[in-house]
Structure 1
Amino acid sequence: MTDRSDRMRQVVAGLSEGVILIEPDQTISYANGAALTMHGVAALDELGETVAEYRRNFVLEYRSHADIGPLQHPVERLLTGELFRDTVVEVHHFRAPEQRWMHRIRSLVTTDSEGQLTGLALVMQDVSDRYEAEARFEDMFRANPAPALVCRLADLRYVKVNQGFLDLTGYARDQVLGHSFCEIDLLTQAECRALAVERLHAGDTIPQMEACLNVPADSEKYVIVAGHPIRMPGGERCMLFTFADLEDRRKAEMELKLSEERFAKAFQLSPVPTALLSTDALLASNVNEAFAAMFGDPGSHRSGTVGGTVAAQDSLWVEEAEQARFKRMLKQVGQVRGFEARLRNREGEILDCLVSAEPVRINGETFVLCAMQDITARKRTETELITAIETVMADASWFSHGIIEKLALMRNPPPPGKPAALVEKLTRRERDLLLGICKGATDSEIAAELGLSLSTVRNHLASLYRKIGVNRRSAVVVWARERGIGEFAPNGNTKPGKLG
């Protein structure tokens, strides 16, 4: 018995695997150096002289399933002669729980010819590094905010899923783990589905591609999906799927599309002639109906088109210097507001216009949005008004009398149905008479000053009374005062014949 034990010790002493030899009487007879190292001790007595001491010194917990009773302890199972292999346990000394090892253990049992136990051995491998790596991967995988999923290639079943994927899709964890690729197809409507499925079965990298997932949260979810072959810490070949949510990008694209459609409609329906020009304002890519109606097709004076656009007609600008100044301002400032220019319409008529330009981006390209407002009628009206004012101001007394008379009519409007008495309706002689009365002259004095007979003066006086609607001299004076006539004139002009 001793010789056999010595031979066994010599065999296991040089093994890289840890070996603990246990006698049928439950004493620990030997442990090689690898086994001692795996328990963090230097001598056999630190391990324990008996199975009971070993169990007191070291706590073993299963990693594969829960320990539900003392008979399930690996040493107890060994003492009953049970053969087991690839059982993973976590080991730590009861005094130092912070230092832990992961052991993969198997049992070795020898018997005599009668079946009696002659030797027991616990064989172990230190797999701490592997499980530490697995723990690091698990922590990193779960903490990664990017949606991710691990599919086992052997049976195409999902073995890991992180919270990012659950948040993205609305699946519950138990709705994913253990389910197959056929049940949750990650490549639905993928751009290159056939290639992706082929790469999945071959365990090769699946390049990034757009796909649409059928998920509980929404009827469909647009994503970018990619697959990366990996080996799990246990050596299992798997495919790591990663995802990027395209929902925000799709919404932005839809908003951009709607915005461009609204711009196109507003552009065409605008009553202001408008054109989309190249950044140098030389080529027009599009014009609205108002522009075409006023100025014609920008290419009507050109032969053909250039690169899908039409050249802006040279004859549109009447003066080349104005066109050059407009382009220079656009280049220097980046935009132009209310630039006055003379443009030629489709009939060849010259129009006064206000030209405004602003850079815009459409479908990723930069253009210049240029609007032309026809102000010809306004300029003509302004010119006529200035001429009229200059004409009136040539005789300021008429201008003053007109204003004062309007104010007098507002203060004392004529009776309903009776026309207003206006200075301009008086004859020259009636005006002279009005001035004489305002100075307090008698009929005879007025007749002598004007060189008229007394009867003629009285006839003109009767006509004056009738036109201004009075019947006595004092009322004539009041009427004249309200209109600033005679001694009440703004310029003090009271000479006969100089009224208005």
Structure 2
Amino acid sequence: MSQEVLTRETNRRQLQQIIAGLSDGVILLELDQSILWANEAALAMHGVSRIGELGANADEYAKRFSLRYRNNHMVPPENYPISRVARCEVFSDVLIEVFTVDDPERVWVHSVRSMVLTDREGQPESLVLIMSDVTDWANAELRFEKTFNANPAPAVICRLSDLRYIKVNPGFLEMTGYTRDQVIGTSAYEIDIFEQAEKRDLAIQRLRDVATIPQMQAELRLPDGSSKQVIVAGQPLLLNDEQCMLFSFVDVELRRRAEVALRQSEERFATAFRLTPVPILICTADDQQIMDVNQAFLDSLAYTSDDVLGKTVTQLDFIDDDGARNRLLTALAKSSRVDRVDLRVRKRDADLLECAVSADTVNIHDVPCYLLVLMDITERKRTELELVSAIEEVMKDASWFSRTLIEKLANVKKINSPQLPSVSFTDLTARERDVLGLICEGLADKEIAARLKLAPNTVRNHVATVYSKLDVHSRSEAIVWARERGLFSGEWRTKGQR
């Protein structure tokens, strides 16, 4: 063995002894790409215990292990670090995922660099791969990446060394309409999230100090030129050994629009409430304390605001009948609304008004309230009473009225009875009126047929037609309908027989 070869082998043994105990993995290769030696750390990083399990050379290594970049793209065998160093390439910090062909679920992450050792004449003598196991770091980074992307709150990460965005999650892209390429690598000066912030100077100072930036309202400029109201906060973090700032956002644009719509709605309600000529009162639902009344209420009942506001409906005592007031409030508590209940309302000077009161339950500043609308029907009531009184006076002696006119007067008298059907007795034919009269006398269909000398089927048809026109469903309902209208009394039948 020549002295040169002996010296080279001695140097290799010394090199192996030096690196055997290192925590970094080291693989030595011959110039012909054969694997000469590997330390324990390198074997452990490949899940093997003997050098032979790595393969005899770079080609066999590629058959036993698959490599993948961190972007999930597979590494072609010719670009494996072991193949590159075999071509005497020098490189550093190549980050790859390594797994055996037989067990792709077990994955290591290596950070690999290469060295080419030369002899005295500068010619390549030994090839070295040096690798660090960064699996734990990569898994932690992967967990962070997944958490960051899955976070529903919009967020971006800015690298503080050059103030460029290095990460953005889907929430931010969805909120703003930016694409990932429009954000990643972009300067914080181009997408200035504090451009319209309410505490911009504080945010900039905290950014310089690498300190937490408290929540503040800002107006974020969007790619289409519009803007959006957001709440933004910043939190320092260390990412890949670099100082960064995590910015998280809350989209308050929908809330702002809702607030504007609510304010506009309240303004419209306030305007209508103030200007409507119908008296309106608003009170709380729980204790009926009066919160507001409109000018029409004050004018109609002769009150001032000081007389009314702050008192309860009971204390103001403007509803003349305590029982009617209690029934109104009970009905409101039970069904949330009432429609056109006739009540007497007392003015401040004790005069009484006849009112039709409608009420509903509304929420004002999240407080359940009753809204009472009072329609003054005093004149209408007075007119109707006078009309009914005149009709009753005339009908005391109606012998000289025609039968049709008396029936129409009777219908006018009953005009204020909303429970009565609107059909008139005169809507029946003469034969149908005869049949109804005999029903009111208590006769059965056969008896009616004998009295009127009609066939029983004909009588049944007439009875069905009468039920349909009167909107009743039985003889008893037909009799009640006729009696409520004062039809077929003894006096009427006598007059009808004249």
TM-score w.r.t. the length of structure 2 is: 0.69
The alignment status of 1:48 with 2:50, answered yes or no, reads no
Alignment of 1:281-430 (within 5 A): 282-299=288-305, 301=307, 306=310, 314=316, 316-400=318-402, 403=405
The amino acid of 2:381's aligned partner reads K
Q: Distance in 1 between matches of 2:218 and 2:107?
A: 45
Kindly indicate whether the alpha-carbon contact (under 8 Å) linking 2:332 and 2:361 is maintained by their aligned counterparts in 1: no
2:345 corresponds to which letter in structure 1? L
Among candidates 196, 199, 206, match of residue 199 of structure 1: 206
Which residue of structure 1 aligns with residue 159 of structure 2? 152
SS at match of 2:45: helix
Question: Which position in structure 1 is the counterpart of 2:46?
Answer: 39
Counterparts of residues 18-167 of structure 1 (less than 5 Å): 18-23=25-30, 26-51=33-58, 53-54=60-61, 57-58=64-65, 74-75=81-82, 78=85, 83-93=90-100, 99-115=106-122, 117-142=124-149, 144=151, 146-167=153-174
Alignment deviations for residues 327-350 of structure 1 (CA, whole Å, 9 cap, x no partner): 444445544433333222355421
Aligned partner of residue 150 in structure 1, secondary structure: strand
Other structure's SS at 1:372 match = strand
| Structure 2 match to 1:249 | 255
Moved more, 107-116 or 259-268: 107-116
Instruction: Name the structure 2 match of 1:236.
Output: 242
What are the superposed Cα offsets for residues 394-426 of structure 1, whole Å, 9 maximum, x if unpaired? 22314448938x99xxxxxxxxxxxxxxxxxxx
Match of 1:268 in 2: 274
Cα 1:196/1:79, change in 2 over 3 Å: same
CA distance in 2, matches of 1:119, 1:401: 132
Aligned counterpart in structure 1 of residue 21 of structure 2, from 8, 14, 28:
14
Confirm or deny: 8 A CA contact 1:147 1:168 kept in the other structure. Answer: yes
Structure 2 counterparts to residues 391-470 of structure 1, below 5 A: 391-400=393-402, 403=405
Identify if the C-alpha distance between structure 1 residues 31 and 287 changes in structure 2 by more than 3 Å, giving closer, same or farther: same
- Taking only aligned residues, the RMSD between alpha carbons, in angstroms, comes to 3.8
What is the Cα deviation at residue 255 of structure 1?
A: 2.5
Report how far residue 25 of structure 1 moved: 5.8
Q: What is the DSSP-based 3-state SS (H/G/I as helix, E as strand, rest coil) of the residue aligned with 2:281? A: strand
Query: For the residues of structure 2 that align with 1:115 and 1:310, how far apart are their CA atoms?
Result: 104
> Is 1:209 aligned to 2:227, yes or no?
no
In 1: Cα distance, 2:70 partner to 2:349 partner: 93
**What is the letter of the counterpart of residue 300 of structure 2?**
M
Tell me which amino acid in the other structure corresponds to 2:216: M
Does residue 203 of structure 2 align to residue 223 of structure 1?
A: no
Deviation of 1:86 (Å): 2.2
CA contact (8 A) 2:67 2:74 kept: no
SS of aligned partner of 1:165:
helix
CA distance in 2, matches of 1:170, 1:198: 29
State the TM-score, normalizing by the size of structure 1: 0.69
Aligned residues: 407
C-alpha displacement of 1:366:
2.9
Give 1:461's aligned residue.
none
For the Cα contact (< 8 Å) 2:232–2:248, is it kept in 1? yes
SS of residue paired to 1:168: helix
Question: What does residue 463 of structure 1 align with?
Answer: none
Gaps of 5+ in 1: 408-488, 494-500
- Partner deviation per Cα, 1:265-324 (whole Å, 9 max, x = no partner): 22223232111123356533222232122113354547xx65xx8988735333445444
Larger radius of gyration: 1
- Structure 2: which amino acid aligns with 1:167? E
Q: Which of 79-88 and 29-38 deviates more?
A: 79-88
| CA shift in 2, pair 1:27/1:228, >3 Å | same
